[in-house]
Amino acid sequence: MALAKLSDLLEDAQKNRYSVGMFVMFNLEMLHGLISAAKETNSPIIIAYGEMAEEQTSIRHFSKTVLSMIEEAKVPIGLHWDHASSLEVAQLAVDSGFTSVMIDASAHPINKNIEITRSVVDLCKPLGITVEGELGCVGQGADYDPDDYHYTNPDEAKFFVEQTQIDALAVAIGNSHGVYPCKPKINFDVLEQIRSNVDVPLVLHGASGIPKEDIKKSIECGITKINIFTDICLEAMERIKKTVQKDKVSLEMIEEDVIQGVKAKTIEKIMLFGSNDRSK
């Protein structure tokens, strides 16, 4: 058990109509919180890391700790590189022991996106490493405008998957990364059209802040991997804010706030996604 392939996790989720949560972390406290949540709920999860943290926490060193803790977890956990920007970054993920890589070339025209994504597939597939690609413009929450949103084209999605041979597809259906300036509007018609056009598991980025009822409906419509980062960070920060107002504050108390905040929010998401008690 323990270290798992993303393709295996998503295959079961797609078959049994639930979603596996992917949670981004960049320090030891977050890692503790995530693994503790997975063990307590007997749930598979995906632990993710990305380039944004590379200057602070070099993955070449940190991955050894991450992999060691995952191996002892006794629940299936995937180690995923989120939003790799190039083949070189994907190679770093491979060298560091990741079981899956998300290559994000979605800002490019579709033909260039295909070219870059396919190069990562060619690198990873022979090694048994799962590849996720993205089509459409998910973007950042600060720029979110539901009336001016660039959705994934369902017909292009079919072509993109065929040409790249990716294992999972991240879609733009009204979702965005970070904090939303207004209530997000998920376009389920687009999602259902994409689902009917492609067979690979579908991924929802920017799920923090999306209403619970929309998350549930997204899963019903075929989303099998849901990415969370902002919500676990906000929960940890709220706990830290309360702690620092106390008369006596220690670093250990703040570290515990991060662990418990991340754990609590992760358990909440696991229950929402329906992945609890799925570990075999």
pLDDT digits (tens, 9 = 90+) for 167-185: 999 999 988 787 777 688 8
Question: Binning pLDDT at 50, 70 and 90, where does residue 244 land?
Answer: very high
Average pLDDT over residues 220-224: 96
**Percent of the chain residues topping a pLDDT of 90:** 80
Say whether pLDDT at 135 is over 90: yes
- Residue 111's nearest CA partner among 44, 164, 187 is 164
- Please, what is the average pLDDT of the chain? 93
Look at residue 99 in the predicted model and tell me its pLDDT: 96
- Is the pLDDT reported for residue 254 higher than 60? yes
Tokens 């109509």 correspond to 17
Section 187-192 average pLDDT: 94
* Among 123, 129, 135, residue whose Cα is nearest residue 88: 123
CB count within 10 Å of CB 38 equals 29
Q: pLDDT-derived band of residue 138, with 50, 70 and 90 as boundaries? A: confident
Residue 75: pLDDT band (50, 70, 90) is: very high
pLDDT band at 143 (very low <50, low <70, confident <90, very high): low
pLDDT of residue 222: 95
pLDDT at 146 over 90: no
Active site residue 231: no
Range of weakest confidence among 42-46, 206-210, 217-221, 241-245 = 206-210
Residue 279 has pLDDT above 80, yes or no: no
Measured torsion, CA atoms of residues 32, 34, 36, 42, in degrees rounded to the nearest 10: -160
Cα 207 from Cα 21, distance rounded (Å): 10
Confidence bin at 280 (pLDDT 50/70/90): low
Per annotation, catalytic residue among 8, 12, 82, 95: 82
What local confidence, expressed as pLDDT, does residue 110 receive? 96
Backbone angles phi, psi at 23, to 5 degrees: -125, 125
Residue 27 pLDDT > 60: yes
Predicted pLDDT at 1? 58
Identify the pLDDT of residue 206.
86
Separation of alpha carbons 147 and 144, rounded Å: 9
pLDDT at residue 163 in the model = 98
Q: Which residues of 203-226 are buried (b: 16+ CB within 10 A; e: fewer)?
A: bbbbbbbbeeebbeebbebbbbbb
CATH of domain 6-273: 3.20.20.70
Determine which of 155-164, 177-186, 194-203 has the lowest per-residue pLDDT on average. Answer: 177-186
- The C-alpha atoms of residue 157 and residue 259 are separated, in whole angstroms, by 38
Which tokens belong to 163? 């040409």
